[in-house]
Amino acid sequence: MTEDTPSVRDDVRERVWSQLRDVARPDSRFAWDFGEFIADYEGSDEGAERLVELAEERGCETWLVTPDNNLDPLRERLVERSTPFLMPTYGIRRGFLSLDPADVPAGAAAFAAVLDGMNRFADRVPIEALEADHPTLDVMVTGASFVTPDGLRMGKGHGYFDLEWAMLRQIGLVSEETVVVAAVHDVQLLSEERVSDGMVADHDTVVDYVVTPTRTVRVDGDRQKPSGIHWNLLTEAEIRSIPPLETIWQRAGEPPTKDA
């Protein structure tokens, strides 16, 4: 994927993960290996309430929510509110899922919100169908390993969210008007005023808001979000492992890749 260069980013991740361990909930598959998943944590319910309030204030109706553990409570609330949403599959290996809460039985909102439930009740949607039929997205919500005050969010280092944004931007489903929100615990929001130049790359998708269990932070800054896919940062094998990405790559005439 769009791999991080080791250095400052990795150092910050390790520092934040050591603090996160005190408030995080382990994953059923990966335990405490934060390099494999975005953890849930104490206060994620309160964070979900803040996310819903923010979306209402901004008039957001169409949602994408990433499959991160800390966003289970948000997905549950969207089901309870009868709000459809998109969710990328883990590693984008099976593209995108679309959940219509009308397909969720009464009393099953909590199960529908977790990954096994999404696989049970949601429909897989090819990228062509999203492009043809899905309304533009008002808001994209993602977890993170850490976020800076000026909007740089870092995940686990695989670059999946950046790819999700880039693909959806490529097909016109998101734009600069789409609100991008990072949901994190307070320990994951850095206190540094600005990001060092060495941490920022052209493919990074900056966020507009950071929501924690205790506060909602509007990001100040003028960095533009990526306008498309940086094929030169990807290998052909990586592209072919993600069906919607491969579709867009082939449609673009198979531009040169990192290993070309």
Amino acid 9: pLDDT: 81
How much is the average pLDDT of 96-122? Answer: 97
Amino acid 156: pLDDT: 83
Q: What is the pLDDT of residues 223-245, one digit of tens each?
A: 778 888 999 999 999 999 999 99
Q: Where are the domains of the chain?
A: 8-247
Strands 85-88 and 139-142: unpaired
Q: Which of 36, 6, 8, 43 is nearest to 22 (CA)?
A: 43
Whole-model pTM over 0.85: yes
Q: What is the pLDDT of residues 160-173, one digit of tens each?
A: 999 999 999 999 99
What is the rounded average pLDDT for all residues in the chain?
91
Q: Which residues contact 66 (CB under 8 A, 6 or more apart)?
A: 38, 87, 88, 140, 141, 142, 143, 161, 164
Amino acid 199: pLDDT: 67
The pLDDT-based confidence of 194 (bands split at 50, 70, 90) is low
Q: What six digits make up the tokens of 221?
A: 């800054």
How much is the average pLDDT of 31-35? Answer: 89
The class that CATH gives domain 8-247 is: alpha beta
How much is the average pLDDT of 245-260? Answer: 94
Contact status, residue 171 vs residue 11, Cβ threshold 8 Å? no
